[in-house]
Amino acid sequence: MLSPRIRQKAKELKETTSREIFNRIRFIPLKTSLCQNPILTSYIHQGNEKEDKPILLLHGFDSSLLEFRRLIPKLSNHCQVWALDLLGFGFTQRPSNLNYSPATIKTHLYHFWAETIKQPMVLIGASMGGAAAIDFCLSYPQVVEKLILIDSVGLTKPPLISRIAIFPLGYLATEFLRNPLVRQKISENAYYNTSLANEDARCCASLHTLCDNWSRALISFTRSGGYGDFSAQLGRIQCDSLIIWGRQDKILGTTPATRFQQLLPHSQLIWIEECGHVPHLEKADAVSHYILDFLKD
């Protein structure tokens, strides 16, 4: 559950959509094959449950479902929208006896789908969430009706340091990442319009770092090697795919966008102009428009 410390910090949120999405966060005690006890898993569910195809949103590295605070309201007027905090990230519980890796993320994600959504869905992943979506789609193709990647990871090998880091280096690295000035610089690099890297954005991007075992889970995931290169496997994905990419992405660059289009058999690429690594935050109107058009096809 959200601790008093997190709730107190959330009072600093300025943007209406940020406050509303934060207040909609719910938890489910999710039973999984990963451990004996249920994992308190944070999520949001908004929209018309009876009539619409479900959409599931997956956030990026060291982030949370708050990353979709501007996109969820625009999609939920037309769709049934779910957003999930991946295992080891966001506000989802981080049991101390677990290792955190792409494999455990995928298992946790499947159990969440089986417990809550229970029907074929549209899977949308941003940045690292895109790699998680690809990994899930490859393992459970019958579950994913359509795939949408937003400035997605998944075409590069993880850095060597992630495989050889010893604990002190890992701990120091996470404490460095917790530093407000460092997080501010990361936020500015993610946007084309750096004025959007404001106080509200800083608060949204740091709330989950107050969760228990945040540092340990991040170190564990990094040691696992993270997500690598799926290029040899993308041809197996047969569902329709949409690639949305910020034209001025300084985090991943723009080359992966065209590679994804070439490697995914049934895909189309949409460029978002004057936009960085986070189109769903920087150009939410345009992104929601393209997503909804894609779902109608």
Q: What is the pLDDT of residues 243-268, one digit of tens each?
A: 999 999 999 999 999 999 999 999 99
pLDDT digits (tens, 9 = 90+) for 27-85: 999 999 999 999 999 999 998 766 678 999 999 999 999 999 999 999 998 999 999 99
What does 162-205 look like in DSSP terms, one character per residue?
HHH--HHHHHHHHHHHH-HHHHHHHHHHH-SSGGGSSHHHHHHH
Domain tally, the chain: 1
Q: What is the pLDDT of residues 83-118, one digit of tens each?
A: 999 999 999 999 999 999 999 999 999 999 999 999
pLDDT of 159: 57
Q: Do 225 and 163 touch, CB atoms closer than 8 A?
A: yes
- Note the pLDDT tens digit of each residue in 282-292: 999 999 999 99
Q: What is the percentage of the chain residues whose pLDDT exceeds 70?
A: 94
Q: Is the pLDDT of residue 237 over 60?
A: yes
Q: Residue 27: which domain range?
A: 4-296
DSSP type of residue 38: P
Mean pLDDT, the chain, integer: 93
Q: Contact at 8 Å (CB) between 55 and 82?
A: yes
Rounded-to-integer distance, Cα 46 and Cα 58, Å: 15
CATH number for 197:
3.40.50.1820
Average pLDDT over residues 267-274: 98
Q: What is the mean pLDDT of residues 223-239?
A: 95
Whole-angstrom distance, CA of residue 68 vs CA of residue 258: 24
pTM over 0.85, yes/no: yes
